[in-house]
Chains A and B, each alone.
Chain A
Amino acid sequence: MSLRTTTDRLVAEVQTRLTGRTRPTLLAGAVLVIVGSLLPWLTFGGYPGQLKSPFFFGDSGVRIFTLLLSVAFLLALFALPGRRKAGIAASLGMVAITAGTFLSVLNERGGLGAFAVGIFLTGIGSVVALLGFLALPPDVEPGRWRRKPQWVELLIVSGAQLALLLVVVYALDVGTDDGARSSRIIGFFLFIIAASAAVHALGVFAGISTLYRRHRGVTIAAGSLAAAAFPFLISEVQDGSAYWIRVAASIGVFAAAAIGLNIVVGQAGLLDLGYVAFFGIGAYVAALLGNANLTTSNIDLPFYIVIVLSAVVAAILGIIIGAPTLRLRGDYLAIVTLGFGEIFRLVAQNYDKLTRGPNGISGVPNLKVGSYDFGDSHTVLGVDLPYFANYYFIELLLIAFVIIVFTRLATSRIGRAWVAIREDETAAQAMGVNTISMKLLAFAIGAFLAGGAGAINAHVATQVSPDSYTFLESVTLLAAVVLGGMGTVAGAILGSAVLIALPEKLRTFQDKRLLFYGIALILMMRFRPTGIVPNSRRKLEFDDADPTSGDAVTQEQPPSTGKAVMAQ
């Protein structure tokens, strides 16, 4: 509490001192930041002569990010609702980027001699800007977007998807080919956080998500197109390197499993801490039946049979585990599933006759469906696609299937029964919901989907071993669901993408990447506990519980009621 009061007092101090002088303060900040970002920051590395891509800020430049953030100054010129918060977010981002660069260069190169005048100008300017934005009068909450012409709305919807795709591709590409990787990557992530906070404060995300809801079909089409375009773009940007496509292939499998887990946790509210076991069972079944090199069986079944078998075996095990334990509630179920996950791993590790123990089954061949070999790379539209792209595309199909299952179930009688169980099991039972069989169904469907995803994973990873199915993996799956937003499909996909790509991206930090991963989990939950894409129902509940954000609840109400009242 004391921390909060101290900052409050500081802000009040700034406001009294700068009243009536916000305009010149902001102007001074803007000039300093912009000029500072255009000038070189460091005295080595050929500044500003080297004109490398993308912009002439190439090299180790993070100056482009402060320059882009300075767009926020434009907001101050117009009395946009939400401009104070947006401005504060942007200038905090600028402060963080300059300070981060300063510290990392100081640490790596030693001494102040490395710095040129630009970094100091930007640093001072961003602090001045922060003070200026703090001194602005409190914001008007950004309202809902007015209806725009159909074509504008569609343009926004598809443009947003395209922008997301480009940001993702840039995020993956950034820092792969220049010397000062870490400072550039950190700079970029700080930029993304600050920029999204600023855009969020202006109410843009809320606006876009209403548009998404209004134009569901176009959203899905644009999203699928963007997802399909991803391998082409990344392959082009990365000069045909297979690295990120391989990562994307693992994200795809993971996302399919995460959506399955979302049924169990997000819909039915059953906390499953051993979900990865079903994923692992699917993988083991696929490896055993899929003619791996180092296997204990020598069975070679076609893949479309194997994947169904994997899923069915996982579902049967889910029922066997679930039947006696689903009578338990809440945390007891969590620990039982955790126990089951551990048992699976330990059995896989020790039952050599079937699983080949800790070594696992390796040499799982590439998929062959008919005469199509997934191990071949292709050139489509002049772009060389590494063979992982094949898996990526089949996973898109799998995800599409899973999404259809998920959404159809969620809006059905079964889905409503799950939500009822999640909210209040006793009440649901009283209302005639057969809670045990509904919970069992959720468990079995979750296991079924995980088993199918696991079967594909066995082929993508070319081997299965007990190490891949640890408690940490279960946690990561759960974290993907919670992080993305419980009960939403987009959330599960985004969450898995972030959680798989982030450690890969943090590989530059080698040893420290798990450390950062831990910090990232803590921070995400601290600042956005409902997840990136919150379920609208859940969001309402959460806002309701928090008396400080009462405004948000009223905003959630559909605008039509207001209009109707006025019409009367």
Chain B
Amino acid sequence: MVQFLQQLSNGVVIGATYALIALGYTLVYGIIQLINFAHGEIFMVGAFGGLAFYLYALPESLADESYMLPLVFLAAMLTSVVIAVLVERFAYRPLRRAPRLAPLITAIGVSIFLQEAVRLYFPDAKSARPFPQYVSTRNVGFKGVGLPIVAIFVIVVAILLMIALSAFIKTSKTGKAMRATSQDPDTARLMGVNTDKIIVITFAIGAALAGIAGVMQGLQFGQISFSIGFLAGIKAFTAAVLGGIGNVTGAVLGGFTLGIVEALGTQYISSTYKDVFAFVVLILVLVFRPSGLLGERVATRS
């Protein structure tokens, strides 16, 4: 039982990161039906943006003080947002009316490009780079079930962000415009919504969340590398589809489900097939519930 609870909490930690990245996928997909395959790379770029800020912008004497962490988060978010907005503007927007597969290929091109750009031009990024440990990795817990402080921190931050995001989408004017654009872009435009702007904002929000997730990944594992975006991106996309793509709550639920399934599967079935579980669960869910856990509409637009 202790073991089960332990794995359950581990799963929640993994799931928190997946969920944060999945939100970016789901937001963008909800609005322009684009599978933004480069989103995993935005996550990776964010982590490197945070690292660069720590290495080159902070004075050395103060860099390791824990109150600098918000600044690192901010730098990561800024990097991700800038890159994502540039990508949207120069790679995706010209293809808005192109055949459906064209932007997908572009996204893959962007993904390869970003990965290689970081690998080649970030100093010493060809192998993993250590990430500053702002939050202690000491274990806390009770009755044998323990989690590092950093993991608890990650979960708390992720949940706060998700609450903030759903409040934003539900209540703010921009959020309303986002929902309108997602339902029917043409009508939204007729109603005076600047859909281009809304699309950019959506990309930016997704990227900001991914940037935060990037720093959290660094904090948790103590290192980042140029290749972390790929698998994280695929898993997060899986999470988004699992929950019902285009659905914000679904992405969160999908992320946590995926994390928990992975942790439990590793413990009880086999650790070599860790990455397989995610996909098996996905296939099973889709076969029996094709629109995802929370998806109400089947994606018919194709």
Binding site for B on A (CB under 8 A): 265, 269, 271, 324-325, 327-332, 334-336, 338-340, 342-343, 346-347, 350, 425-426, 471, 475, 478-479, 482-483, 486, 511-512, 514-515, 517-522, 524-526, 529-530, 538, 542, 545-546
Q: Which residues of B contact A426 (CB under 8 A)?
A: 300
Contacting pair A346 B273 (CB below 8 A) = yes
Q: In the assembly, what is the distance between CA of A479 and CA of B275, in Å? A: 25
What total count of A-B pairs have CB within 8 Å?
140
Contacting pair A514 B99 (CB below 8 A) = no
Residue of B nearest to A542 (CB): B99
Contacting pair A339 B299 (CB below 8 A) = no
- A contact face: mostly helix, strand, loop, or mixed: helix
Known A-B contacts A329-B298, A335-B237, A514-B112; the reply to A522 vs B91 at CB < 8 A is yes
Q: Which residues of A contact B105 (CB under 8 A)?
A: 478-479, 482-483, 521, 524-525
Contacting pair A331 B91 (CB below 8 A) = no
Binding site for A on B (CB under 8 A): 29, 33, 35, 91, 94-95, 97-99, 101-106, 108-117, 120, 230, 234, 237-238, 241, 245, 272-273, 275-276, 278-280, 282-283, 286-287, 290, 298-302
Contacting pair B302 A521 (CB below 8 A) = no
Given contacts A329-B299, A339-B279, 4 further A-B contacts (CB under 8 A): A324-B287, A346-B276, A521-B106, A542-B99
B95, B112, B276, most chain A CB atoms within 10 A: B112
Contacting pair B238 A529 (CB below 8 A) = no
Q: How far is the CB of A426 from chain B (nearest CB, A)?
A: 7
Contacting pair B108 A479 (CB below 8 A) = yes
Q: In the assembly, what is the distance between CA of A478 and CA of B106, in Å? A: 12
Q: Which residues of A contact B112 (CB under 8 A)?
A: 514-515, 517-518, 521
Q: In the assembly, what is the distance between CA of A324 and CA of B290, in Å? A: 11
Q: List 11 A-B contacts (CB under 8 A).
A: A331-B35, A339-B280, A343-B279, A426-B300, A486-B101, A514-B115, A515-B116, A522-B91, A522-B110, A525-B102, A526-B95
Contacting pair B275 A346 (CB below 8 A) = yes
Q: In the assembly, what is the distance between CA of A538 and CA of B101, in Å? A: 12
Q: In the assembly, what is the distance between CA of A336 and CA of B278, in Å? A: 11
Contacting pair B120 A512 (CB below 8 A) = yes
Contacting pair A545 B287 (CB below 8 A) = no
Contacting pair A538 B99 (CB below 8 A) = yes
Q: Which residues of A contact B283 (CB under 8 A)?
A: 324-325, 336, 339-340
Q: In the assembly, what is the distance between CA of A334 and CA of B302, in Å? A: 12
Contacting pair A330 B299 (CB below 8 A) = yes
Q: In the assembly, what is the distance between CA of A524 and CA of B101, in Å? A: 13
Which 8 pairs of residues, A with B, have the shortest CB-CB distance?
A521-B109, A518-B113, A339-B279, A518-B112, A529-B98, A529-B102, A515-B116, A522-B109
Q: Which residues of A contact B230 (CB under 8 A)?
A: 471
B29, B115, B116, B234, most chain A CB atoms within 10 A: B116
Q: Could you say which of B98, B103, B116 contacts A518, with CB atoms under 8 Å apart? A: B116
Contacting pair A520 B109 (CB below 8 A) = yes
Q: In the assembly, what is the distance between CA of A465 and CA of B8, in Å? A: 35
Q: Which residues of A contact B301 (CB under 8 A)?
A: 330
A269, A330, A425, most chain B CB atoms within 10 A: A330
Contacting pair A342 B234 (CB below 8 A) = yes
Q: In the assembly, what is the distance between CA of A511 and CA of B126, in Å? A: 11
Q: How far is the CB of A531 from chain B (nearest CB, A)?
A: 9
Q: Which residues of B contact A526 (CB under 8 A)?
A: 91, 94-95, 106
Q: Which residues of A contact B298 (CB under 8 A)?
A: 329
Residue of A nearest to B109 (CB): A521
Contacting pair B290 A471 (CB below 8 A) = no
Q: Which residues of A contact B110 (CB under 8 A)?
A: 518, 522
Q: Could you say which of B94, B95, B103, B290 contacts A328, with CB atoms under 8 Å apart? A: B290
Contacting pair B276 A515 (CB below 8 A) = no
Contacting pair A525 B95 (CB below 8 A) = yes
Known A-B contacts A332-B286, A522-B106; the reply to A542 vs B113 at CB < 8 A is no
A479, A518, A545, most chain B CB atoms within 10 A: A518
Q: How far is the CB of B241 from chain A (nearest CB, A)?
A: 5
Contacting pair B99 A330 (CB below 8 A) = no
Q: In the assembly, what is the distance between CA of A526 and CA of B98, in Å? A: 9
Residue of B nearest to A514 (CB): B116
Q: In the assembly, what is the distance between CA of A338 and CA of B115, in Å? A: 20
Q: How far is the CB of B134 from chain A (nearest CB, A)?
A: 32
Q: Which residues of B contact A529 (CB under 8 A)?
A: 95, 98-99, 102
